[in-house]
Amino acid sequence: MSIASPLEGPEAGAPTRRSRMRAAVLQMTSTPDLDANLLSLERLVREAASRGAELVVVPESFAFIGSEEAKIGLAETLPEGGPILAWCRALAIRERVHLLLGGFWESSPDPSRVYNTCVHLAPGGEVAAAYRKIHLFDVDLPDGTRLRESETVLAGDAPVVTTTPFGPLGLSVCYDLRFPELYRRLVELGAEALIVPSAFTLTTGKEHWHVLLRARAIESQAYVLAAAQTGRHFGRRVSYGHALIVDPWGTVISQCSEGEGLALAELDPARVASVRRQLPSLTHRRL
C-alpha cells in the first residue's frame, strides 16, 4: 500500500494498527466572522469528543466564507501555519482527536490565489497530511449563482491517503465528489474510508448530494465521511447541509438534521473487509 502526502506524514507503506474508530462529521454555517466560526468549530468538536469521537471531519471553508479578497488575506503556509492553524492544532491536542480540516486556505506561489486544502491534524497537533483540491468549481447555476473558484484558488495535482488507527483515509474536497476516477485512485492507494468536506450549494445539493456520496461508497466499497456547510453564509451563498456518513455497502448510517450539528458513526475495518470479500468488484476491473 502506498501512502501519498505532499507534506510531512507517514512513509509510503507504513504499517497501520487496525481498530474500530468512532468518527464525527460536522455541519456548520460559516460566515465572514472568523472568530465566530472558530468558536462554533470548537463547540462542535468538543461535543463530538465528549460523545466518543476520535476522528472529526470539518466542512470546507470552515474558518471563513466571505469576500475573495479577505479569503486570500487569511491564507497560511503549511505545515508551519499561522493563527488559524495554531488554534486548530490546540483544539486537536486538547480534545485528543484526529482533526480533518476541510477547505483550509493555504498560501500558494501565486499571491492572487490560494490552495483549498484538506489538512489532517493528528491528536498531537502535527500535520499528518495535506491534500490540495484538484477539481475547481467553475459553474453558472440555474438559480443565477455564478461561481468561479479558479479565479482565486490554485488547483492541486496529487491524490493523498493518510493513516489513522482505523486504517487509510483518502482525502478530497467538495467538487472532487463528481470525479470518480479520483476515488478509484485513492482506493488503489489503500483507502478504506473517504473524506469529503464540502460546501455544496443548495441547488446542486438537493439533486445530487446523497446520490453521489452513496455512489462513491458503493463503487469504492469504503466508508464515506461528508462534513457539510448549511444555510446562508454571505451574499447569495447558501449551502445544502445534510452532513452524513455512508458505510461500504452504500447505506447512510448517520446524518445531520437542519442547522449546525454533527453526525456520529463507528468505522469498522472488518466491515470494509467483509463487503469487499462478499462482492469483490474491486478485483473484477478490466479497464
DSSP H helices in 27-164? 34-50, 68-73, 83-95
Give the start-end residues of each E strand in the chain: 21-28, 55-58, 98-107, 114-121, 127-132, 138-140, 146-148, 161-163, 168-171, 193-195, 223-226, 228-234, 237-240, 244-246, 252-255, 261-267
Return the DSSP state at 169: E
DSSP H helices in 96-175? none
Determine the distance from the C-alpha atom of residue 78 to the mean position of all C-alpha atoms in its chain, rounded to a whole number.
Answer: 17
192: annotated active-site residue: no
Cα 49 to Cα 44: distance, rounded to the nearest angstrom: 9
Q: Which residue from 168, 123, 161, 152 is spatially nearest to 272, judged by alpha carbons?
A: 168
> What are the beta bridge partners of residue 121?
99, 127
Within 13 Å of residue 127, how many CA atoms lie on the same side as its CB?
20
Query: Is 134 in a helix, a strand, or coil?
Result: coil
Q: Of 54, 88, 118, 133, which one is the catalytic site residue? A: 133
Q: Which residue from 170, 97, 132, 107 is spatially nearest to 7, judged by alpha carbons?
A: 132
68: annotated active-site residue: no
Q: Of 54, 118, 149, 174, which one is the catalytic site residue? A: 174
Cα 104 to Cα 112: distance, rounded to the nearest angstrom: 16
Q: Of 60, 76, 149, 192, which one is the catalytic site residue? A: 60
71: annotated active-site residue: no
Cell of residue 47, nine digits: 461535543
Strands 228-234 and 223-226: unpaired
Q: Which residues are catalytic?
A: 60, 133, 174
